[in-house]
Chains A and B, each alone.
Chain A
Amino acid sequence: AQRVTQPEKLLSVFKGAPVELKCNYSYSGSPELFWYVQYSRQRLQLLLRHISRESIKGFTADLNKGETSFHLKKPFAQEEDSAMYYCALEGGTGFQKLVFGTGTRLLVSP
């Protein structure tokens, strides 16, 4: 079965502090992994995907197949990073069927 676990419901940090949002997955094959973000009063949108190996808004995420993790990191948090973050997995063949974690709310205080 495919599963995504985000163990923290809320992560509260101060501006300038490092941030790590945890994501672990369960999937027997080679998954595609994503981070989606929802800012206040905005719609859910793609932040980054592991296959692109990109850094978006200072965030990076590395797929660790040994630990089945895809943690989202940023070295210096900004207040505008405050949002709900969802880790998502896409497994199997065929068409897109995303499996989402329960989300972590990141709160960055001044």
Chain B
Amino acid sequence: NAGVTQTPKFQVLKTGQSMTLQCAQDMNHEYMSWYRQDPGMGLRLIHYSVGAGITDQGEVPNGYNVSRSTTEDFPLRLLSAAPSQTSVYFCASSANGLKNTEAFFGQGTRLTVV
């Protein structure tokens, strides 16, 4: 019962480098989302997807791209990393994304941009 799997768990990037944070779920959930968590702040929504081929922006989308080519995967891309993107990133999924459905979270990716 893997649930939501994020890779890598830890990553250090240099400013300007690009990388992709991977997120996969095996629960056949339609809805997936990415959050970031910074010190002293709650989780903030970056992007979300309501199904394969459909994505939309959350509260803090700048500097991030997403795509959803399959139901299972929802990668988050940083095209040119900046120190301000140092954070812990969480991927989540829920059955249909409707209000009051439970969100299942991955274990997080701790990203440091130097």
Interface, chain A (partner B; CB < 8 A): 4, 32, 36, 43-46, 49, 51, 86, 88, 90, 95-103
Contacts and interface: CB of A to CB of B under 8 A. Distances in A.
B42 A90 contact: no
14 contacts: A36-B103, A43-B108, A46-B102, A51-B100, A95-B50, A95-B97, A96-B31, A96-B33, A96-B103, A100-B35, A100-B44, A101-B42, A102-B40, A102-B42
B107 A43 contact: yes
Interface SS majority for chain B = loop
Interface residues of B, number: 29
B101 A100 contact: no
Given A46-B103, A96-B31, A98-B103, A86 B42 contact: yes
B12 interface: no
A44 B31 contact: no
A43 B102 contact: no
A86 B35 CA distance: 14
Contacts of A97: 45, 48, 58-59
B39 to A, nearest CB: 9
B79 interface: no
Given A45-B104, A98-B43, A102-B40, 5 more contacts: A43-B105, A45-B105, A97-B45, A98-B35, A101-B42
A15 B62 CA distance: 45
B31 A49 contact: no
Interface in B85-114: 90, 94, 97-108
A73 to B, nearest CB: 21
Contact of A44 (B40, B58, B94, B105): B105
